[in-house]
């Protein structure tokens, strides 16, 4: 192997790669020895090096001057401005007037230090991150049902060995192409793939059975599948009796989800519901995987419960090559939700309201337990409160482009403009950075050390391969400097990633996500270590549910759930469903990928995908531009007509900004448990069709 071993900066698959060359001429190769990607990378991974020497790279802090212009500044005066701004806001409005917004893309060390900065230096309860909009519904359901939130509670390699895979609301052929080799291997072994998706995606086209449900009807479909399995006596009654609790209430609930009714609600023909249930009922091993399609809904937690119920009723959870898992999207979506940048959480996946957890973490940090703030509002609520009484007046953003990725984004953009101080740390002038009072230029993935935790709970090591450009600092250096200025160097002594990881290990010790036995050396030597890993001589835990369920009673818990439908139903004025998602060529808000030539050539602009019949109904022809409207605003997209769409559903990718921003349209209806916004479904209409040559 030539080049330095590391991992991709983008999605939760965290493909292993080697990096060599120099910025401007970086060579990247997939690592064939890593069992997750086995040498494969997607086009985003291959081209990730281009961002390092990109001409738009920020190399100097920017501070908004008296004319309102972002002008280059020294680090000292930019940091002075931030320190004084934070102190002034907190003096005038109280500690909670300062807030912190993090990201599922940050390394574990950054997520940890960002949470510590919020709790120890700012002592604010206003800290949350964009992962709230990504995996929080799956996390909430998994914790309640299985006692643990570890995306996949088994290695990715298990996927190829299951008889049946059910993939719900995840288009991995576009978002995580190297994962498809595991699905192909499963098919080659004689396995069956069932895809549940409102669109006929590239992944759905690879399926044995595609259940093309209406957006927002996942619970009805899962309950319908379980109804058939109960009716046909295909349950694992011994597992239900010996290892679980609460099934009788689920049995009663699913009794009314007979296939004809499920077809009326979901649009999935009853014959396909029967067929999918039959395949599941006959499987010796089945894995059910949920993604954002099912989770980013105002009933996302219930949707996940419905699919976990299915896996439990079949006795699949805790069994080898079987179970339920969540396809985590962001690069460190898993680790990012374990170490304290979430509003209700302390490192090690501990609750900030748990007295023992508070005492443990306070002791590691060298502060008094009573000085730690309590739980705060979730991401959207934090942002929606900005500039209002009791809300945040000064916000530090790290690794997130809120202006593009927030639901109901125009509303959040207005709230950002109401802040007294907005500080954004980024390596490009993102749409959010462009609104900031201070922008700090940061290092990128190949310019710093750190760990991430993949979608399967495997800790991985990213290496510094190149020095950052002159004028740029790492996020850890920024956090350390701010922490030391606000709370003293004793509490923020270092910006060294390994030393911070060692502190994180102590803080996580004894918690649900226990990293205390994992070291940089072990990760490098073993190619990754699965948590929990409580001792250095502990082998790590690839399949944590094989030894039992870490719930209070040791049993998995069924949750009876009913179909409710989306928060905003369609009607005569808003007759279409709008759903949003990702494309192969772009990642999240597109801050990086829209700047990479090969990727922007592949996907230069967003589109609205609709069925031919829908296009005919609304007078849309190929080449037209379409103004799509919801109750929150409108945006314009090129029409893409396809056989792949339902005739009641529009699809728009969400990687773009301005008048092409999909999240201008999305709704912020929040799941009552996870506080996940309903990014995946709202009512829309085609407001206007702009013919070629007309002005939009
Ligand atoms: Fe990177 Fe994800 Fe593509 Fe792998 S699948 S190369 S981790 S973006």
| Averaged pLDDT, 471-477 | 98
Q: 173 C-alpha vs ligand 1 centroid, how far in Å? A: 11
pLDDT one-digit tens code per residue, 303-325: 999 999 999 999 999 999 999 99
Does residue 245 carry a pLDDT above 90?
Answer: yes
Residue 300 Cβ inside 6 Å of ligand 1? The answer reads no
Question: How do 164-168 and 286-290 pair as beta strands?
Answer: parallel
Model confidence at 693, in pLDDT bands (50, 70, 90)? Answer: confident
For residue 444 the two structure tokens come to: 């990128």
Could you tell which of 41, 43, 334, 456 is best to mutate to test the pocket of ligand 1, judged by most ligand atoms within 8 Å of the CB?
Answer: 41
Residue partners of 70: CB distance under 8 A and separation at least 6: 62, 63, 64, 429, 434, 436, 439
Assess whether pLDDT exceeds 80 at residue 170: yes
Ligand 1 touching residue 41 (CB < 6 A): yes
Q: What is the pLDDT of residue 696?
A: 67
Ligand 1 binding pocket includes 584 (Cβ within 6 Å): no
Query: pLDDT class for 602, splitting at 50, 70, 90?
Result: very high
Residue 425: closest CA among 395, 453, 387: 395
Region of residue 152 (phi > 0: left; psi between -120 and 50: alpha; otherwise: beta): beta
Mutate which of 28, 170, 178 for ligand 1? The one with the most ligand atoms within 8 Å of its CB, which is: 178
Res 134 pLDDT > 90: no
Residue of 484 and 691 predicted with greater confidence: 484
Residue-wise pLDDT for 252-282, tens only, equals 999 999 999 999 999 999 999 999 999 999 9
176 lines ligand 1 (CB under 6 A): yes
Per the listing, tokens 């499963």 go with 186
Q: In whole angstroms, what is the distance from residue 190 CA to residue 162 CA?
A: 10
Query: Is 556 near ligand 1, meaning CB less than 6 Å away?
Result: no
| pLDDT at residue 354, rounded to an integer | 97
- Tell me what pLDDT residue 317 has: 97
pLDDT tens sequence across 5-31: 999 999 999 999 999 999 999 999 999
- Cα–Cα distance between 191 and 646 in angstroms, integer? 27
Q: Which atom of ligand 1 is nearest to the CA of 175?
A: 5
Q: Name the more confident of 330 and 662.
A: 662
- Cβ–ligand 1 distance for 11 under 6 Å, the answer yes
Mean pLDDT of 229-241: 98
Compute the distance from residue 127 Cα to the ligand 1 centre, in Å.
28
**Hey, what long-range contacts does 61-69 have (CB within 8 A, 24 or more apart)?**
61/438, 61/439, 61/440, 61/441, 62/429, 62/436, 62/438, 62/439, 63/437, 63/438, 64/436, 64/437, 64/438
pLDDT band at 589 (very low <50, low <70, confident <90, very high): confident
* 585 pLDDT higher than 90: no
Q: Is the pLDDT of residue 483 over 70?
A: yes
For the record, the structure tokens of 606 come out as 């967003």
Residue-averaged pLDDT of the chain: 96
Q: How far is the CA of 336 from the centre of ligand 1 (A)?
A: 17
Q: Is 16 a pocket residue for ligand 1 (Cβ < 6 Å)?
A: no
Q: What is the mean pLDDT of residues 594-612?
A: 95
What does DSSP assign to residue 214? P
Query: pLDDT at position 694, please?
Result: 84
CA of 292 to the centre of ligand 1 (A): 17
**16 Cα to the center of ligand 1, angstroms:** 9
Q: Residue 307 and residue 289: Cα distance in Å, rounded?
A: 9
More confident residue, 588 or 669: 669
Nearest alpha carbon, ligand 1 atom 2: 11
- The model scores a pTM over 0.75: yes
Residue nearest to atom 3 of ligand 1 (CA): 42
Return the bridge partners of 462, or none: 450
Residues 484-497 have a mean pLDDT of: 98
Task: Pick the atom of ligand 1 nearest to 37's CA.
Answer: 4
The side-by-side arrangement of strands in the sheet containing 25-30 is 4-7, 16-22, 25-30
Q: Is any ligand 1 atom within 6 A of the Cβ of residue 34?
A: no
Euclidean distance between CA atoms 103 and 655, whole angstroms: 16
């Amino acid at each position: 192997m030539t080049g330095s071993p590391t991992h991709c900066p983008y999605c939760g698959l965290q493909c292993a790669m080697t990096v060599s060359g120099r910025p401007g001429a970086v060579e990247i190769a997939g690592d064939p020895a890593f069992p997750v990607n086995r040498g494969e990378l997607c086009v985003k991974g291959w081209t990730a090096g281009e961002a390092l020497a990109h001409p738009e790279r920020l190399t100097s802090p920017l501070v908004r001057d008296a004319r309102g212009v972002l002008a280059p500044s020294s680090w000292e005066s930019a940091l002075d401005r931030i320190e004084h701004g934070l102190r002034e806001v907190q003096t005038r409005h109280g500690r909670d007037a300062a807030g912190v917004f993090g990201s599922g893309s940050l390394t574990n060390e950054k997520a940890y230090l960002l949470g510590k900065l919020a709790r120890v230096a700012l002592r604010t309860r206003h800290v949350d991150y964009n992962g709230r909009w990504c995996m929080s519904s799956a996390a909430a359901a998994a914790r309640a049902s299985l006692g643990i939130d570890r995306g996949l509670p088994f290695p990715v390699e298990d996927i190829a060995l299951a008889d049946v895979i059910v993939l719900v609301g995840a288009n991995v052929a576009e978002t995580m192409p190297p994962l498809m080799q595991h699905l192909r291997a499963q098919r080659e072994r004689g396995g069956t793939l069932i895809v549940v998706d409102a669109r006929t995606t590239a992944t759905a086209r690879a399926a044995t059975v595609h259940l093309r449900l209406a957006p927002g009807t996942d619970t009805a479909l899962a309950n319908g599948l379980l109804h058939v399995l109960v009716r046909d006596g295909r349950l694992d009654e011994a597992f239900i009796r010996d290892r679980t609790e609460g099934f009788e209430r689920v049995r009663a609930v699913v009794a009314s989800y007979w296939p004809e009714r499920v077809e009326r609600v979901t649009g999935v023909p009853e014959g396909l519901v029967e067929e999918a249930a039959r395949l599941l009922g006959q499987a010796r091993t089945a894995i059910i995987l949920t993604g954002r399609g099912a989770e980013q809904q105002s009933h996302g937690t219930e949707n996940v419960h419905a699919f976990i119920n299915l896996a439990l009723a079949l006795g699949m959870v805790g069994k080898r090559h079987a179970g339920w898992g969540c396809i985590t999207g962001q690069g460190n979506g898993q680790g990012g939700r374990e170490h304290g940048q979430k509003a209700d959480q302390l490192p090690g996946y501990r609750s900030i309201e748990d007295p023992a957890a508070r005492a443990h973490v306070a002791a590691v940090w060298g502060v008094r337990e009573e000085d730690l703030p309590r739980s705060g509002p979730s991401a959207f609520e934090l942002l929606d409160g900005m500039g209002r009484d009791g809300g945040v007046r000064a916000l530090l953003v790290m690794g997130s482009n809120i202006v593009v990725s927030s639901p109901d984004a125009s509303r959040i953009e207005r709230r950002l403009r109401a802040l007294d101080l907005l500080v954004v740390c980024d390596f490009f002038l993102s749409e959010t950075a462009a609104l900031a009072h201070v922008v700090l230029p940061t290092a990128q993935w190949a310019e710093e050390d750190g760990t991430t935790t993949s979608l399967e709970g495997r800790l991985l090591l990213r290496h510094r391969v190149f020095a950052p450009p002159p004028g740029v600092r790492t996020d850890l250096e920024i956090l350390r400097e701010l922490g030391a200025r606000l709370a003293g160097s004793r509490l923020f002594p270092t910006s060294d990633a390994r030393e911070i990881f060692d502190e994180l290990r102590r803080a996580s010790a004894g918690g649900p996500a226990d990293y205390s036995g994992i070291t940089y050396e072990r990760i490098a030597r073993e190619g990754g270590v699965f948590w929990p890993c409580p001792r250095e001589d502990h082998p790590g835990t690839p399949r944590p549910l094989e030894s039992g369920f870490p719930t209070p009673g040791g049993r998995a818990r069924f949750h009876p759930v009913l179909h409710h439908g989306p928060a905003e139903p369609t009607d005569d004025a808003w007759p279409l469903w709008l759903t949003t998602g990702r494309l192969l060529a772009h990642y999240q808000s597109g801050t990086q990928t829209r700047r990479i030539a090969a990727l922007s050539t592949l996907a230069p602009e967003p589109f609205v995908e609709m069925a031919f019949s829908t296009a005919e109904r609304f007078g849309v022809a190929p080449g037209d531009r379409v103004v799509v409207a919801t109750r929150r605003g409108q945006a314009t997209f090129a029409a893409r007509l396809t056989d792949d769409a339902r005739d009641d559903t529009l699809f728009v990718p969400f990687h773009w900004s301005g008048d092409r921003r999909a999240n201008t349209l999305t709704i912020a209806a929040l799941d009552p448990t996870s506080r996940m916004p309903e990014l995946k479904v709202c009512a829309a209409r085609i407001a206007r069709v702009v013919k070629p040559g007309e002005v939009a």
